[in-house]
Amino acid sequence: MLRRAVWVGSAAVLGGGALWASRDEGLRRSLRFWGGVLPIYAHYRFVEWTRGDFAPLHDAYADPIQQLTLELRGFYVKLAQVVSTRDDMIPQQYLLWCKAMQDQLPPALDAAQVRHILEKELGSRVEELFDQFDWKPVGVASIGQVHQAKLKSGERVVVKVMFPGMERLFRGDIETIKNFCRYLQPQHMPFLNEIEKQFLTEFDYRNEARNLEEIRDNLSVHPWKLKVKVPRPYAELCSEHVLVMEWISGVKLIDGVKNQFRKMAEMQGKPLEELEREQKELLTSGKIRSTSIAASKRLIRWTNLYLQVSDFLSNVVLFLYNYLVAVPTMRPLQPYRKTEKLINLAEVVELLLQVHAHEVCLCLISIFNPDNRSLSTERSMAILIQETFCSCQMVV
């Protein structure tokens, strides 16, 4: 009788827990995380204790962890995006799909859901606000997705729409991962605490709109405004969960660099992946000498100048051949040379450091001496911060 009572009691507790979890989305997500991750973690720990090889585990569990991340989304996607910025933080099997999380996430909202959020937040029908609206998102992030649109005035804009209930889910997800690390990986707690401070401020797009406007104003009095463009928010179309801002055409820096490397790889008869692997091996082996940002910038400038002069001289010879030889003899004209210039990554990095230093010094001035935001004080602090940042080393 006692054994039967224990079984009945246990079944009742488990059944009640399952029912409770089914009604509480945060608890259900937490249980799904623990149920998916804990057995994998235990397997890794066992292999570590037995001094085994981790490579088979990486191959076996990279895909299940990816599927779990896509299923839960929320903060788990954000965490994958954060760790993907460091190639040395996680194994390659995980790094590949974490990098894909940056801009290849599947949409989470369909057209009807997007319309409902827009009309609820902005108080008008979509057709009254926009001349055109592309219901297919151009990008999907951890807390929302981005659509292209055109205003009644004809201006092209991007519209960020936040997923419903994301702040509550994020808080629950963060607490779940913190509990996991608190008991099993305590060395990662400081990292998670900093992430929590940073990302829990992102759930009101009105703050993002104000930040965009403030940065635009700060840069408007500097020559950087000719090189750095900050999208203009449309305050009248921004709410807590919707952000409408200016569309800026262009190519992401990482895509531009990869396109350049892809062309270099084609010239050498290699796939891009092989060239990337060779470059990483040269970096890790120390065969590529690191140098300062200023030296790297000069080197790339001289290289581009050499390519430009070389093209010019070659094209002079080709011009003379085409009009003195090819045209009179009815031979085919020779195409002119136009070598693509290298992206001056050092120059881009220096510019970003200068702009960030400028924003940091303005922040410091407003905190410690809000009544003395003079241009001379700002410039002095900016120079100090820039010199500190730009003294770092960069690989050519």
- Per-residue pLDDT of the chain in tens (396 residues, 90 and over written 9): 333 433 333 333 334 444 344 457 888 999 999 999 999 999 999 999 998 899 999 999 999 999 999 999 888 998 898 888 877 788 989 998 998 888 788 888 999 999 999 999 999 999 999 999 999 999 888 889 999 999 999 999 999 999 998 888 888 999 999 999 999 989 989 888 888 877 777 889 999 999 899 888 888 877 777 888 899 999 999 999 999 999 998 888 878 888 878 877 887 788 888 887 887 777 777 676 667 788 888 888 998 899 999 999 999 999 999 999 888 888 899 999 988 788 888 888 888 888 888 887 777 776 666 555 554 545 555 555 544 444 444 433
Residues whose CB falls within 8 Å of the CB of residue 343, separated by 6 or more in sequence, listed in order: 256, 257, 260
Specify whether 32 is located in the same domain as 60: yes
Q: What is the pLDDT of residue 381?
A: 52
Q: Chain-centre distance of CA 221, in angstroms?
A: 28
Specify whether 74 is located in the same domain as 150: no
Q: What is the pLDDT of residue 378?
A: 52
Domain total in the chain: 3
Q: Can you give the residue range of the structural domain that contains 197?
A: 111-250
Q: What is the pLDDT of residue 258?
A: 80
Specify whether 27 is located in the same domain as 139: no
Residue 149 maps to a domain: yes
Query: Which DSSP string corresponds to 106-140?
Result: PPSS-HHHHHHHHHHHHSS-HHHHEEEE--S-SEE
Of the candidates 173, 164, 162, the one whose C-alpha atom is nearest the C-alpha of residue 209 is 162
- What is the radius of gyration, based on Cα positions, of the chain? 27
Residue 330 maps to a domain: no
Please state, in angstroms and rounded to a whole number, the distance separating the CA atoms of residues 163 and 204: 12
Specify whether 116 is located in the same domain as 78: no
User: What amino acid occupies position 360?
Assistant: V
Please state, in angstroms and rounded to a whole number, the distance separating the CA atoms of residues 389 and 367: 21
Residues whose CB falls within 8 Å of the CB of residue 94, separated by 6 or more in sequence, listed in order: 58, 62, 65, 66
Specify whether 222 is located in the same domain as 120: yes
Q: What is the pLDDT of residue 132?
A: 95
Residue 268 maps to a domain: no
Q: What is the pLDDT of residue 89?
A: 80
Q: What is the pLDDT of residue 26?
A: 84
Residues whose CB falls within 8 Å of the CB of residue 396, separated by 6 or more in sequence, listed in order: 288, 289, 290, 291, 295, 296, 299
Beta bridge partners of 395: 290
159 class by beta-carbon count within 10 Å (0-12 exposed, 13-18 middle, 19+ buried): buried
83 class by beta-carbon count within 10 Å (0-12 exposed, 13-18 middle, 19+ buried): middle
Which alpha helices (DSSP H) does the chain contain, by range? 2-23, 25-49, 55-72, 75-83, 92-100, 111-122, 126-129, 166-184, 189-199, 205-219, 253-267, 272-285, 293-321, 345-368, 375-390
Residue 310 maps to a domain: no
Residue 272 maps to a domain: no
User: Is 355 in a helix, a strand, or coil?
Assistant: helix
Please state, in angstroms and rounded to a whole number, the distance separating the CA atoms of residues 235 and 232: 9
Q: What is the pLDDT of residue 290?
A: 67
Residue 184 maps to a domain: yes
